[in-house]
Copies of this chain bind each other. A is one copy, B any other.
Amino acid sequence: MANIRDVAKRAGVAPITVSRCINNSGYCSPEARERIESAIVELGFVPNRLASGLRSKRTHTLALVLTDITNPFFTTIARGVEDTASEAGYTVIFCNTDESVAKEQMYLQMLLEKRVDGILLVPAVSGIDSVNIVKKQGTPIVVIDRRLPDLRTDVVRCDSESGAYDLTRLLLSLGHREIVILTGPRGVSTADDRLTGYRRALEEAGIPHNEEKEFYGAFSQQSGYEMAYQAMKKNNGITAIFAANNVITFGAIKAFQEMGLRVPEDVAVVGFDDLPAPLVTFPFLTVAAQPAYEMGKKAIEILLGRLDGELPDHYEEVVLPAAIVVRQSSGGIREITALK
């Protein structure tokens, strides 16, 4: 396998000139360039970026560590990340943690060893240690989707609390008073914030706080399914459900189908996260849609800004709004009796 010296020899220049030519760093005369380029083709030379990275301390590789690429919300983020990164000449490693802190830390260690230029992280519960491990190495990191308490990092996330507040207000305005929330793991900011928004809407409406109607679980379909069953067992007269992410929503709906409850006639359902339009036959769910693609794009932009040292010293916190999309699953206005 030819190396830069072989190319230099054949082109009659010094290796550094070849380097400058292929990287467009520094000047390279047109004649030299031509000879170098033919030498490259003739020798089938492929620059070794391990070597250049070793020397220059830049790998042009970034990483995206998330919980599960299989969730369309994260898939869309991933696409935003990859598009933006590749435009800037970067390549992206992706890792699925399944909300496991152990996996997260194992991946981060590998990524640091590979000397990625920067990391995008959707932290599992209490990802503070993780972020600190990365920062200690001096590798730039941007947290996506989730807040981290007392942590000095750049963050790109969605306004979960307002989104949840708006969705709950929607249910209230339709006449619902018995509203259950099925949220994610305690300690994950999106799960907590959505609960907070829900509570705030209820409080403002003068509805007393009731822990029997609040369920913490996992951000999984299975958990949504189980929480829906528990919710109906523990409570009477539930007329609406707020599911804190897309797959919880689907799990809950599956449970209702089994129970013989119609949506929205018997139970109204609203949820967080929209599904990409190309995947939906009959748009049905009323949701708070997060701008996933933009979140990924923005996160990479900040990361690249850090790499180029262009950003101010203070950390950036970008909080994008969720858009309420009203469809059938939330149903119409309830009867006066329901309004009481």
Residues on A lying within 8 angstroms of B by beta carbon are 1, 44, 46-51, 53-54, 59, 61, 68-70, 72, 75-76, 78-79, 82-83, 86, 91-96, 107, 109-115, 136-138, 220-221, 246-247, 250-251, 253, 275-282, 284-285
Contact = CB atoms under 8 A, between A and B. Distances in A.
Given A47-B113, A86-B107, 6 more contacts: A61-B114, A70-B76, A91-B93, A93-B94, A221-B277, A250-B280
Contacts of A115: 48-50
A61 B278 CA distance: 32
Given A59-B50, A69-B75, A93-B61, A136 B279 contact: no
Contacts of A68: 79
Contacts of A96: 79, 82-83, 86
Copies per assembly: 2
The 4 closest A-B pairs by CB, nearest first: A221-B278, A49-B113, A50-B54, A247-B278
A160 to B, nearest CB: 21
28 contacts: A44-B136, A44-B137, A46-B109, A46-B112, A46-B113, A47-B113, A49-B114, A49-B115, A50-B53, A50-B54, A50-B59, A69-B69, A70-B76, A75-B75, A79-B96, A82-B95, A82-B96, A86-B96, A91-B93, A91-B110, A93-B93, A94-B94, A221-B278, A250-B278, A250-B280, A275-B279, A281-B284, A282-B284
Contact of A92 (B94, B136, B220, B275): B94
A336 B136 CA distance: 74
